[in-house]
Homo-oligomer: A and B are copies of this chain.
């Protein structure tokens, strides 16, 4: 869910440009009016693209939402290397917090949509899976530096580090706490060093 799900401009001429205009319109409609109000016609009008073009290429709102997630998945994202486990996790958490607190928040809109559409739920699940897989390098680097005991499970540590952010921002909906990204990073680091995420055997 990080960074904000906005693809960089890519080469590709008219087709790519139209896709960008249409997906920008989907994002704007979702964050302003929500999933219920989303129609191919309003998206086409907002994008300044003929509605038959949108129908032909995306078919329906399901197709538009699926392409929105695909565009988010295409972003060439890598976690920052700060030189320490706690630093890397704190930056990761700060990016998550930023993506849910910026106005408008596309991340928050995508989560809301995932409670309305099975297809969106699966796409979001896949996007999160990709981001966690891309983030495992953080734990691998810490293992190489000797910051963590051998056989530390990267995924368990990453979920423990990030879950409090998602819980507070998405489910408890508490006002964003500027200290939380670093505190959650600290907690996961302390727990990791103490062997809380080592797999048995």
A75 at the interface (CB under 8 A from B): no
Answer whether residue A141 sits at the interface, using C-beta atoms and an 8 A cutoff.
Answer: no
- Interface size class on chain A is 20 to 34
Interface set, chain A 156-173, CB cutoff 8 A to B: 156, 159-160, 162-164, 166-168, 170-173
Give the nearest-CB partner of A122 in chain B: B173
Whether B187 and A190, one on each chain, are in contact in the complex, defined by CB atoms closer than 8 angstroms, is no
- A159–B125 alpha-carbon span in the complex (Å): 22
A46 at interface, CB cutoff 8 A:
no
Taking CB atoms, residues of chain B closer than 8 Å to A129 are: 172
Smallest CB separation, A186 vs chain B (Å):
6
Give the docked Cα–Cα distance between A148 and B164 (Å): 20
Question: Taking the nearest CB of chain B, how far is it from the CB of A23, in angstroms?
Answer: 22
Given A190-B194, A191-B190, A196-B191, answer yes or no on A167-B166 (Cβ-Cβ < 8 Å).
yes
Q: Check: A77 CB closer than 8 A to any chain B CB.
A: no
A195 to B183, CA, bound (A): 12
Q: Is the CB of A187 within 8 A of B196?
A: yes
B160 and A160 contacting across the interface, CB-CB below 8 Å: yes
Contact B195 A190 (CB under 8 A): yes
12 contacts between A and B (CB under 8 A): A115-B115, A125-B173, A128-B172, A159-B168, A160-B160, A162-B167, A163-B164, A166-B167, A187-B191, A187-B196, A187-B197, A193-B194
